[in-house]
Structure formats: C-alpha cells, structure tokens
Chains A and B, each alone.
Chain A
Amino acid sequence: MKVIAGIVFLVAALAAPGCGGDDGGPLTIYSGREEELVAPLFDMFSEETGIEVEVRYGDSAELAATIAEEGGNSPADLFWAQDPGSLGSIESQLSELPQEILDQIEERFRDSEGRWVGTSGRSRVIVYNTEALSENDVPDSVFDLTDPKWEGRIGIAPTNASFQAFVTAMRLSAGDERTRQWLLDLKKNDPKEYEKNTPIVEAAADGEIDLGLVNHYYLYLVKEEQPDAPIANHFLAAGDPGALVSAAGAGVLESSDQSDDAERFVEFLLSEVGQRFYVEAAEEAEYPLVEGIEPKKGLPPLATLQGPDVDLTSFGAAHEATIELLRETGFLT
C-alpha cells in the first residue's frame, strides 16, 4: 500500500504545474520560436494585458503537423511559427485576421488572404570566416558560388526549411531550369552539408568552411557563445535569390474559443514594445517589420533589403516541386 500511496503522491506532484486542459482559461500558444529567444515576450504580454498564457514550444514543422493531426480539437489558440511554410501548411485551419492588424505589415510579409502576418523579418546572407576572406572576396550573388574556386569551401543545410525556402525563391524568380543547373553546378563544388543554420555558422567560425548560406541572425547567437569568433555576414545584391527576406509569423486558429485574446497577442507582437524587442532585448537581431522601428545597429535598413520578387504565400504550394528538384539533383534522398 505504501507503493500505491507513493505513486499517487508522485502523480499529484508531477501534474501540479500547468495541468491546464481545455477549460477556456489561459491562452494556449504553440510556439515554433525558440524559448530561449522569445520567452520574455510572453511575460511582457501577460503583464500588460492580464491575459494568462500557456506556451507549448517545439519545432515549427512538428507543431504544424501536430495541429493538423489535432484537427478541430486543437487546444492551440494561436500558432507562432519560424517560417511561412509551417503556417501555410495549416492555413485552412487559420481564421482571417482583422484588417487593422494586417495593415500594419507590408504585403510582402503576410498571407495574401490575411490568415497570418509576419512578426519579425530575417534575411538570407552569406556568413564568412573573416580570417580566410575579406568582405570583397565574398560574392554578391549566389550564382557566383558555382565558380570552381569555392570547391569544398561552402556550407549548406539542404534538409533545413530555410535553405529549401531559398531554393523555392530561386525557382520562382529565376526559373526551374536555371535553378536545376545552379544546383548541379553547386554539387560539383562539393559543398559541406549540415543539419541546420547554427552548425554552419559554427563551422565558418572554426574555419571548417570559408562561407555558408544561412539566415542573418544566427551569427549573433554563435557570437553569444564564442564572442571572439572570426565571422561576419555579407548581404547579397538586391533581387538575388540569395537575398531572400522572409518572416516568422503568427496566425489564430479557427477552432479557438479565445480568438479575441489571441488577436490581442498578435497586436502585441506588432506593437512598439513587441517590435522593439528584436532591437533591444533579443540577442539575435531580427528585423522589426512595423514601419518606423529601426533594426539593431549595424544592420542595413529593411527597406534596402530587396530579395527576389516572390510572394511568400505561394511558397507552400511551390514547396513540393522544390523538394523534388533537390532530390533530382542529389541534395536530398
């Protein structure tokens, strides 16, 4: 009997924190954005509005798959994702946001049907090792990376959503044929493959590679861990697919019974406080998307970042063909 008493005690103690459930209490948010980066924002929101928040952290794509499997019974009120692709994959489960919210964000950073908005921006860049290269050596276009002189010196993450979105951008702006040729030529240069962005930036810092294709803000995370790392970002020429500017974004679930509170959270993310967070509080220097708020010092202004002329909303539909192309050219199996 002692054993049973022990088990009952253990279960009670374990279940004590956040046994939430779907009692219409706190606002439930699924966050694909990393806890280490955004947790303070949730506290700020609760403090400001008095609305309690429960956050389930996870990988954006895995959370999107979870929401899809949950269907109409999803406990989530709001999905905050790393990338437009994850949001796009469950767009049929998202409700349309009010026009006042949508109007705050440039059209290039929101869903054309208003089901999600961008909350912060990130640019594709080339990260490079400053001991091996000076900024002048780094190409202004990804198309120059097929030059044989870069053989064995490039790092990429072909299984990562951010690299795949960049390839989609190339397909949509430069066409399938040119993209295929570029991929084949890049393969001849024997690029090193990594799991995701952070290891590429670390590899550039270690000199394992000379340059890598990544999102701009990972540099700051790696610098946090290794302050003296010899690395820098190079922003590519306007219109180049390698200059793609994308966004993390948020959408409210249609099945939510607290959509008002959820919309208030989106408003909060786009408020002065929510947007200044990326400038002042966060260590990773993403771009605020609301007009009039300057990015962290040292970053080129958002308006000067002009990626290829593509619609982020169309990425979801174009994704499958990108995967197919990456398979054909041997980057994925």
Chain B
Amino acid sequence: MSRGAGTRAPLPLALAAGIVVAALLLPLAYLVIRVVGGGRALEILGEASTWRLVWNTVLLAIGVVAASVLVGVPLAWLVTRTDLPARRVWSTAGALPLVIPSYVAAFCLLGFFGERGLLADALGVEHLPDVRGYWGALVALTLATYPYVFLLTQAALRNLDPSLEEVARGLGTSGRRTYIRVIAPALRPAVGLGALLVALYTLSDFGVVSLMNYDTLTRAIYVQYKSLFDRAPAATLALLLAALTAVALVIEYRTRRRGRLYRTGPGAQRPQPIVRLGRWKAPALAFCAAVVGLFLILPAGVLGYWLARGIANEREFQMPWREAFHSLGASGLAAGAAVLAALPVALLALRYPSRTSNMLERLSYAGNALPGLVIALSLVFFAARYASPVYQTLALLVFAYVVRFFPQGLSGVESALERVSPRYEEAARGLGRGPLQTIALVTVPLVRSGVLAGAALVFLSAMKELPATLLLRPIGFETLATEIWKLTQVGAYSRAALPALVLIAVSAPVLYLISSNRRFESGGSG
C-alpha cells in the first residue's frame, strides 16, 4: 500500500521511534527484574487459582468489548449517517461518558442500582438483588469504554469516501449488501482499534472490579501489593497480564486489513449520503435515549443528588479551582508529549513498513494493560535509583501519563496518517525536499486533526488517572482525581461529588471538540 515500502527509514526517525518505545518498555523491564529476583514465578503459574483469574479476566474483557461494540457502532452510525432528530446532541452526549472516571461510574451505578440504593428507595422495596459481580463490572466498564469505539467509528464513517458506495450501488448492489461488502470492511480497522483500547482499559482497571467485587488479575495484583508485601507474586501476575495484552494485539492485528483508506481522486470531500430511518425512527431514538440515560444522565444525576444531600446537610464546599488547574495542566502536557512521542512511531510503522517498524509499533502497546499501580512502582524504581533529580516532579508524572496512555495518542495519529495519501509526500519529495523536511512541511500539517484527536483522548484519560498520580505527583500537587480519592476514602460522598462534577465539566469541552467538529475529524482534506 505505502510507497515507502522497501525504502529505508531516515535514521533520525528510526532513532526517535526506538527511544520512545524503549521508554515505554520500562514497566516490563521492572517486572522482569522483580520476577527474576523473587523466583516463585513457576509456582504461581502452576496454581489453579491463577488460571481462574486469567479466565475471569478474559471473560470480562470479551464481555466489555462485545458490549462496547454493540453500543458504540450503532450509535455512531445513527448520529452520522441517518436523519435521526437532534443528531448533534446525541453525538455529544453519546461520547460524554468518556469523561467520567470508571471508579466514579461504578460508585454511581451502585448508589442507584445497589441493594439499598436510590432505586430501591424510589420503588419502596426492602432491597433489590445484588448487582455486583460480573454483570455489574461489565456495565460499569462498558460505560467507561464504549466511547472509544463510538468516537473512532464515527470518525471512520465521516471519512468514508461516498464514491465507494455510489459505485457499489451503481453496479446494482442492494443497500444491505453495500453495507456488508463495502462499508463494514472499511470500518473494520476503526472498530478493531476501538475494541483494542476497550480491551486494554478493561485489563488494567482496578477501581471497577474492586467496587464490584469481581476477581481479575488486576484486582489480585492490588491485593498482593496491599497484603503480602512481597512484590514477586504481583509482578508475575502482571507479566501474565502483559501476555494477555500481546494476545489482544495479535487478534487486532489479524483483523486489521490495511486497505487503502485515503481518497485518491481530486476534489473536495463531499457530504455523506443520509439514510432515512422512517418507521425505525422511534426505536432508534429509544436506543439513543437508553444509552445516554444509563451511561450519562444516571451517573451525573447520582452525583447531583449526593451534592444536593451535602448542601442540605450544610456540608462545607470549596470549589476545587487549584485542583482543576493542576489536572488541566498536567493532562495538557501529557497530551502534547504523548502525540509528539507517537508521531515517529506512527510514521515509521505506516510510511516505512517493515518487520522491525511493525514490531516497534506493537511493542509500544505492551505496557498499556498494566495496572496504574504497577506502572507507578516501576517508575518509582527507576527514577529513585537512576534519575533522582526528576523523581516526584511534574516531569515524571507527565512521563507516567505518556507511558500509560501512549496507544490512545498513537491511535489518533495513525488513523489520520492512514487517510493521508502518500502521494502528497511523494510530490514533496519529487520537488526536492528531504524525507524529514517532507514530514515536517507536508505530513504533520495534513495529520493535524488526527493528532489533535489523539491528544484529546490522552488528555481525557490523564484527567481521570489516579494510582500513578498518587505515587508520582510532586508533594502537595492535588488534582481533581486525588481530591475525589481523598474524600471517598473517608466516605464523604456528598463532598466528593463536587470535584467529580467539576472533572466532568472541565473535560466535556475537550470532548465536544473531538466529537462534534467535522473539520476536526476530516483528516487529509486539510
């Protein structure tokens, strides 16, 4: 596909990508050091309970991925390609759950659907059945992750070349077959990438599985750290988690057929054909309302209720301005740093595809399914020993965010790059520009929109990040996430509701940028 195949990558580019990936592999290196030093790995791998944890984890990841695709893809199609009323509203509201931290979501869902939650109160019943366990974890994690599938699918739908469909229809293909034969394959990379992000998030999440009392590898890793004070078993389980990530990566790679996604013809992009829903309008609206109601209105409502209860009980509230500023600043820096780091990796993988560049790209995902605590401890280990001047500084915190959320930045850069025809670059080369100059003058401006989308995803994740923030922040550097933690730790939910709502409120505009601005998404047409 790419004309770069066969040509050698410029050395500075390859070097930059290599350095980035090496930095991302630090947590894995730490785990290997711990496992080798502990020496109980084989014993742990031989235990039946370990494999039960693996099974539980896989089951949850499959469930959440399936649910996210079932919610995210239809929603994306409805808001981009149909005459659904109030599409802009649904489009923004449908992406908004992404700004709710998953532990807050789980708290809110339990506060509502719990045995003695608000729903039981409202219904006037003694108690409802216990919703915790597999299904509770599945719903809370779906809430937190389906927006990845939704956003990426939506972007792909917007950027489909309508001429593909027109040709199919012109050749007499029926509407349904056009979808199966033309649109579905073109969407597959986006859906697959979204599913991968969902799977990685699910593998690494601790907050939800802990509140929902469902045993996964990540929960077991935390329990090990919290109770055994022996770091080798936790490290062994974490490496197992990394192995599961590798499986997810291979599956995604296999399903990704890198067809040509960029438009070759001249001329401006044209608007997408719109499907008339007709009598399906009511069920479609009901579907959107159900998704938004359960995943956005309900958690926000529960937070609002707690806040109101606190105000009624005359609790003291302080607007967390300083915390909000810290969150925004650190997350903003992380977003910028992550996409800067993603550029060389993406360019190398897509413009100079080779076994090595593909390997580098895949390796950059390796640490992403590790729990935040493991990533934090690995950076504690390396920084305190070998880089003490940066230890517990803002720089290290930002670095930790980049390590945790790199793939989200990468996904944005790559999907934009896939849609930019290499011919533009070839033209620049033909006009006598060097390879690096071409990247700077042609490629980067063309993928600007995708870079911004990737940066926004990293930004939103960093806003919500807790475990690494707690251990690596400079002393006294309070963020909205640590504020929520501090208050829920002592059960002060009514006061924790305020920073949670502020977190949602300040993240929302960023999301609005990615989800509703067309120009933002239509990479390539520049």
Residues of A within 8 A of B (CB): 7, 10-11, 13-15, 17-22, 28, 34-37, 54-59, 61-66, 68-71, 73-75, 85-86, 88-89, 159, 161, 164, 192-195, 198, 201-203, 206-208, 218, 221-222, 224-225, 227, 284, 316, 319-320, 323, 327, 332-333
Task: Give the Cβ gap from A68 to chain B, nearest Cβ, in Å.
Answer: 7
Contacts of B384 in A (CB 8 A): 69-71, 73-75
Contacts of A55 in B (CB 8 A): 475-476
Chain B 100-123 per-residue mask, 1 if CB under 8 angstroms from chain A, else 0: 000000000000001110000000
Contact of B470 among A17, A58, A64, A319 (CB under 8 A): A58
Q: What number of A-B contacts does a CB cutoff of 8 Å give?
A: 158
Question: Is there contact, CB below 8 Å, between B491 and A10?
Answer: no
Task: Give the Cβ gap from A233 to chain B, nearest Cβ, in Å.
Answer: 16
A218 to chain B: closest residue by CB? B491
Question: Is there contact, CB below 8 Å, between A64 and B388?
Answer: no
Question: Is there contact, CB below 8 Å, between B475 and A18?
Answer: yes
A194 to chain B: closest residue by CB? B213
Contact of B474 among A18, A64, A320 (CB under 8 A): A18
Question: Is there contact, CB below 8 Å, between A333 and B52?
Answer: yes
Residues of B within 8 A of A (CB): 49, 52-53, 114-116, 126-127, 130, 210-211, 213, 215, 219-220, 223, 225-231, 313, 325-326, 329-330, 332-333, 336, 373, 377, 380-381, 384-385, 388-389, 391-394, 467, 470-471, 474-477, 486-487, 489-494
A sample of 29 cross-chain residue pairs with beta-carbon separation below 8 angstroms, ordered by A number, consists of: A14-B325, A14-B394, A15-B394, A28-B475, A34-B489, A34-B490, A36-B487, A58-B471, A61-B227, A61-B229, A69-B377, A75-B384, A75-B392, A159-B210, A159-B226, A161-B226, A194-B213, A195-B210, A195-B213, A203-B116, A207-B127, A225-B313, A225-B493, A284-B490, A316-B229, A319-B227, A320-B228, A320-B230, A333-B220
Contacts of B116 in A (CB 8 A): 203, 206-208
Contact of A17 among B225, B471, B477, B491 (CB under 8 A): B477
Question: Is there contact, CB below 8 Å, between A35 and B388?
Answer: no
Task: Give the Cβ gap from B31 to chain A, nearest Cβ, in Å.
Answer: 12
Interface-central residue, B52, B211, B213, B491, by most chain A CB under 10 Å = B491
Q: How far is the CA of A246 from the CA of B215 in the complex (A)?
A: 28
Interface-central residue, A193, A327, A332, by most chain B CB under 10 Å = A332
Contacts of B491 in A (CB 8 A): 198, 201-202, 218, 221-222, 224-225
Known: A57-B470, A58-B471. 18 other contacts (CB 8 A): A10-B332, A10-B333, A11-B333, A14-B477, A15-B393, A20-B392, A34-B490, A36-B492, A59-B226, A159-B226, A203-B116, A208-B127, A218-B491, A227-B313, A319-B229, A320-B230, A332-B223, A333-B52
Question: Is there contact, CB below 8 Å, between A323 and B474?
Answer: no
Contacts of B385 in A (CB 8 A): 71, 73
Question: Is there contact, CB below 8 Å, between B377 and A14?
Answer: no
Question: Is there contact, CB below 8 Å, between B226 and A61?
Answer: yes
Question: Is there contact, CB below 8 Å, between B474 and A89?
Answer: no
Contacts of B330 in A (CB 8 A): 14
Contacts of A201 in B (CB 8 A): 491
Contacts of A161 in B (CB 8 A): 226-227
A85 to chain B: closest residue by CB? B229
Q: How far is the CA of A89 from the CA of B384 in the complex (A)?
A: 19
Contacts of A7 in B (CB 8 A): 333, 336
Q: How far is the CA of A136 from the CA of B174 in the complex (A)?
A: 76
Q: How far is the CA of A114 from the CA of B115 in the complex (A)?
A: 47
A57 to chain B: closest residue by CB? B486
Contacts of A63 in B (CB 8 A): 471
Question: Is there contact, CB below 8 Å, between B389 and A10?
Answer: no
Interface SS majority for chain A: helix
Question: Is there contact, CB below 8 Å, between A65 and B231?
Answer: yes
Contact of A11 among B377, B381, B394 (CB under 8 A): B394
Contacts of A58 in B (CB 8 A): 470-471
A320 to chain B: closest residue by CB? B228
Q: How far is the CA of A332 from the CA of B213 in the complex (A)?
A: 11
Task: Give the Cβ gap from A56 to chain B, nearest Cβ, in Å.
Answer: 5
Contacts of B53 in A (CB 8 A): 333
Task: Give the Cβ gap from B111 to chain A, nearest Cβ, in Å.
Answer: 10
Contacts of A68 in B (CB 8 A): 229, 231
Question: Is there contact, CB below 8 Å, between A164 and B227?
Answer: yes
Contacts of B223 in A (CB 8 A): 159, 332
Contacts of B470 in A (CB 8 A): 57-59, 62
Question: Is there contact, CB below 8 Å, between B489 and A69?
Answer: no
Contacts of A57 in B (CB 8 A): 470, 486
Task: Give the Cβ gap from A85 to chain B, nearest Cβ, in Å.
Answer: 7
Question: Is there contact, CB below 8 Å, between B486 and A35?
Answer: yes
Question: Is there contact, CB below 8 Å, between A195 and B211?
Answer: yes
Contact of B227 among A159, A195, A224 (CB under 8 A): A159
- Given A58-B470, A69-B384, A208-B115: A193 touches B489 (CB 8 Å cut-off): no
Contacts of B115 in A (CB 8 A): 203, 206, 208
Task: Give the Cβ gap from B386 to chain A, nearest Cβ, in Å.
Answer: 9
Task: Give the Cβ gap from A220 to chain B, nearest Cβ, in Å.
Answer: 10
Task: Give the Cβ gap from A234 to chain B, nearest Cβ, in Å.
Answer: 20
Contact of B476 among A17, A85, A88, A332 (CB under 8 A): A17
Q: How far is the CA of A224 from the CA of B313 in the complex (A)?
A: 10
Q: How far is the CA of A227 from the CA of B486 in the complex (A)?
A: 21
Per CB-CB distance, the 7 closest pairs between chain A and chain B, nearest first, are A89-B229, A206-B116, A18-B476, A70-B384, A61-B226, A198-B491, A14-B329
Contacts of A65 in B (CB 8 A): 225, 229, 231, 377
Q: How far is the CA of A57 from the CA of B490 in the complex (A)?
A: 13
Contacts of B489 in A (CB 8 A): 34, 36
Task: Give the Cβ gap from A100 to chain B, nearest Cβ, in Å.
Answer: 30
Contacts of A320 in B (CB 8 A): 228, 230
- Given A159-B223, A161-B227: A37 touches B490 (CB 8 Å cut-off): yes
Q: How far is the CA of A141 from the CA of B377 in the complex (A)?
A: 40
Q: How far is the CA of A63 from the CA of B437 in the complex (A)?
A: 48
Task: Give the Cβ gap from B126 to chain A, nearest Cβ, in Å.
Answer: 8
Contacts of B220 in A (CB 8 A): 333
A37 to chain B: closest residue by CB? B490
Contact of B49 among A15, A19, A327 (CB under 8 A): A327
Contact of A14 among B313, B326, B391 (CB under 8 A): B326
Question: Is there contact, CB below 8 Å, between A62 and B471?
Answer: yes
Q: How far is the CA of A193 from the CA of B209 in the complex (A)?
A: 13
Contact of A323 among B213, B227, B471 (CB under 8 A): B227
B337 to chain A: closest residue by CB? A7
B322 to chain A: closest residue by CB? A17
- Given A7-B336, A333-B49, A333-B220: A19 touches B474 (CB 8 Å cut-off): yes
Q: How far is the CA of A20 from the CA of B393 in the complex (A)?
A: 9
Contacts of B333 in A (CB 8 A): 7, 10-11, 14
Contacts of A89 in B (CB 8 A): 229
Task: Give the Cβ gap from B140 to chain A, nearest Cβ, in Å.
Answer: 14
A22 to chain B: closest residue by CB? B388
Task: Give the Cβ gap from B489 to chain A, nearest Cβ, in Å.
Answer: 5
